[in-house]
Each structure stands twice: as C-alpha cells, then as structure tokens.
Amino acid sequence: MLTRRFSSLSATLAGAALFCVALSAQAREYSVSTVLSADFPWGQAAEKWAELVEERSDGRITLRVYPNSQLVSGDQTREFSAMRQGLIDMAVGSTINWSPQVPELNLFSLPFLMPDTDAVDAITGGEAGQMVFDAIESRGVVPLAWGENGFRELSNSKLPIDSPDDLDGLKIRVVGSPLFQDTFTALGANPTQMSWADAKPALTTGAVDGQENPLSVFDVARIDQVGQKYLTLWHYMNDPLIFAANQRVWQQLPEEDRELLRQAAIDAGQWEIEMSRDQKDERLEAIKSRGVEVIELDETQRQSFVDATQSVYETWAPEIGQELVDAARQAVESR
Ligand code: X2X
C-alpha cells in the first residue's frame, strides 16, 4: 500500500518534471523593455516585434513589452546595465540612453553629423553600423536590429530660436549622455539632465524652458500643452533604436529561435522606421494646427549652429573612437 502510494507519487513527480521540460521547450516568455509606450512609434516597434514573434513561433515564444522604463524604475540610463545583468531579457532601446555604458553610441549624438535620413541609413547599414553593433556585443549584449526614434528638434517656451545667441541662458532638459551637456553649453544654454519621466513635470512648472525630442514624441506627448510654444527644426541629431537581447538568454535559445527573433526584429524595425518617417509631415501639421510656432532654418542659420558646436567633436571623437567617427563621416559623404 505504502509502496504503491510512493510509486504513484514518484510517477506524478516524474510526470510533472516531464511537463516542465515540455513546457520550456514549448512556451517561453521574455521581458522587453522600452522607454516609450505603444502610443509612440518606439513602443509600436516593440509591439510589432512581439506580434511577429508570436505569429512565427505559433505562440511558443512570447515577448512581453514593459514600457515607460518601468523595469528600471523610470531611469532609462540604467536599461542597458539591467539587460546586461539579466534583470531584463530584451529591449528596444535608444542609443542615447545606452551611451553611458557604450561610449561608441555617442556617435549618433554628435551634433549635425547626419543631415538627412540617407545619412542615418548609410551609417546604420554600413561599416560604421557594424562597428557599433560590435561595441555593444563586446559589452555583453546581443544587438539584433535597428529602429528609429527620429531627428530631434528643439522646443522652448520663451522665443523663436534661429541662432545660437537665442539659446543664451535658456534652461534645456537633456537626456542621459554627458555629450548633451557639452553641446548645449557650447551653444550658451544651461542644460539639465533628467529622465523622460521627469521632463514633462519640469516643463510644466517652468523648472526648464525647453527640451529636444523627435516630432512624433512632441506630438504624441502633447508637449505644446506644457507651454512649449516654439519649435525649431534643426535636425541636429537622429536617435536610432536598437533591438537587443541579454547574452545568456540568447545563448540558451536554439539556433532556429535565434534566427526567428532576429529576423522578426529586423522586420519590425524596418516597419517602424518607414512608418515613423511617413508620418513626419502629418505630425508637423498637427503640431502647427495646435498653435506651435515652427521655425525652419536656412543654410546660413543652420551653419551657425554647426560652427558653434564643433568643440563637441574634439572632446567626444576620442571617447567614441576616431576610427568609428571617420567611418561614419565616410558613410555620410558617399551616401
Ligand atoms: O527621454 C527622451 O527624450 C527620449 C524619450 O527621447 C529618450 O528616451 C531618448
């Protein structure tokens, strides 16, 4: 009797163990961190990735998206470290937010390096892009594909800005990398670093006068409602997104699942890049229709910003790596 009970118990346990093994081969779930939610193209990129993976794995692999930097308590500059440590399995993250841990990513924040989207594509799609991916990989995270947060434009509550002089003494909210401190200091402004979570309250109270973000972010987050009346289209930098995974998570995946995840990331990234670029004109119209004064720069005005920020290259090219900066410049020239 006793023996029979034992054997039925061990049979149950064995069954449970088998079930677990089968389950792990069958259904797996991974966390994916993003800063912005699915109201924004950025969050939509992550959702698209999850959707494609769900579909192509017949529901075996689930990517669960956690927006608003919630897995790092709102501190977007800790996302890369958290992914490296395995607290986060995967992320669709911004080069800006990861640059404190991967100095090479400051490349994209060099002011006026990329005049248009062809320049962005020439960098990300060429040798420089591969060098950036190698730099990420060497720091313990596996990069999979590119997306795009977009060209960052300058807004403020005080005056129409069309020359560096206009920025004199303005308090500007900037993101994670110290490079932005240097850029805005070079322009005569007074930069303050803070997370996205803190940015809107700081704009609302007037603790800061201005900020910089892509048109999609300005539009969706209704930045005009917190007193940002002037928007200067200076396209001073573009903020690519990178789909990536924790190294251990990646190594534990069977080869065919790696391929599935990578290809889905590439497809989701391409989809998001095209969509957000296509939406640019309607975003601008929507922003204008809400009463924001939009300032476009002519070539001379733009050049005055380029000239004023040259010192940033001297300080930051050695941090980024001269070879990478040269490869990027080469890509831009021959685009
Ligand atoms: O914080 C920002 O400005 C944002 C949302 O654009 C980034 O995460 C880089």
Q: How does pLDDT run across 240-286, given as a tens digit for each residue?
A: 999 999 999 999 999 999 999 999 999 999 999 999 999 999 999 99
From the CA of 194, how far away is ligand 1's center (Å)? 10
Confidence of residue 11 (pLDDT cuts 50, 70, 90): low
From the CA of 105, how far away is ligand 1's center (Å)? 14
Residue 114 carries which DSSP code? -
pLDDT at 2: 44
From the CA of 213, how far away is ligand 1's center (Å)? 7
Which of 33, 149, 180 gets mutated to test ligand 1 (max ligand atoms within 8 A of its CB)? 149
Pairing relationship of beta strands 171-174 and 190-193 according to DSSP bridges: parallel
Q: Which residues pair with 232 in a beta bridge?
A: 154, 295
- Ligand 1 atom with the smallest distance to the CA of 152 is 6
pLDDT tens digits, 176-217: 789 999 999 999 999 999 999 999 999 999 999 999 999 999
**Range 292-321 average pLDDT:** 98
From the CA of 24, how far away is ligand 1's center (Å)? 35
State whether CATH 3.40.190.170 applies to domain 29-333. yes
Which residues form the pocket of ligand 1, taking CB atoms under 6 Å from any ligand atom?
Answer: 35-36, 76, 94, 96-97, 149, 175, 196, 213, 217, 239
Q: Which residues pair with 153 in a beta bridge?
A: 213
Amino acid 71 reads L
**Which two structure tokens, joined as six digits, stand for 90?**
């995967």
pLDDT at 257: 97
**Range 65-74 average pLDDT:** 97
Angle at the Cα of 312 (from 317 to 219), degrees rounded to 5? Answer: 110
- Ligand 1 atom with the smallest distance to the CA of 173 is 3
Residue 62 carries which DSSP code? E
The rounded distance, in Å, linking the Cα atoms of 45 and 92 is: 8
Nearest to 320 by CA among 146, 191, 196, 182: 182
Using a 10 angstrom Cβ sphere, with 0-12 exposed, 13-18 middle and 19 or more buried, the burial of residue 200 is middle
Residue 173 carries which DSSP code? E
The rounded distance, in Å, linking the Cα atoms of 103 and 105 is: 5
From the CA of 79, how far away is ligand 1's center (Å)? 12
Task: Give how far the C-alpha of residue 71 lies from the chain's centroid of Cα atoms, to the nearest Å.
Answer: 15
The rounded distance, in Å, linking the Cα atoms of 125 and 111 is: 20
The rounded distance, in Å, linking the Cα atoms of 53 and 59 is: 8
pLDDT at 155: 98
Which of 78, 80, 94, 152 gets mutated to test ligand 1 (max ligand atoms within 8 A of its CB)? 94
Which residue has its alpha carbon closest to ligand 1 atom 1?
196
From the CA of 67, how far away is ligand 1's center (Å)? 12
From the CA of 196, how far away is ligand 1's center (Å)? 6
**264 touches 53 (CB < 8 A):** yes
Identify the residue whose tokens are 């959707």.
51
Residue 192, SS3?
strand
- Ligand 1 atom with the smallest distance to the CA of 149 is 6
Nearest to 207 by CA among 179, 226, 234: 226
pLDDT at 3: 47
Residue 240 carries which DSSP code? E
Identify the residue whose tokens are 């390096």.
113
From the CA of 13, how far away is ligand 1's center (Å)? 49
Report residue 114: phi and psi, to 5°.
-115, 105
Confidence of residue 27 (pLDDT cuts 50, 70, 90): confident
Identify the residue whose tokens are 């900037």.
174
Checking if the pLDDT of 174 tops 90, the result is yes
**214 touches 65 (CB < 8 A):** no
The rounded distance, in Å, linking the Cα atoms of 208 and 157 is: 9
Checking if the pLDDT of 5 tops 60, the result is no
Non-local CB neighbours of 6 within 8 Å, separated by 6+ positions: none
Confidence of residue 1 (pLDDT cuts 50, 70, 90): very low
Counted residue by residue, the chain has a size of 335
Amino acid 183 reads T
Confidence of residue 8 (pLDDT cuts 50, 70, 90): low
Which residue has its alpha carbon closest to ligand 1 atom 2?
196
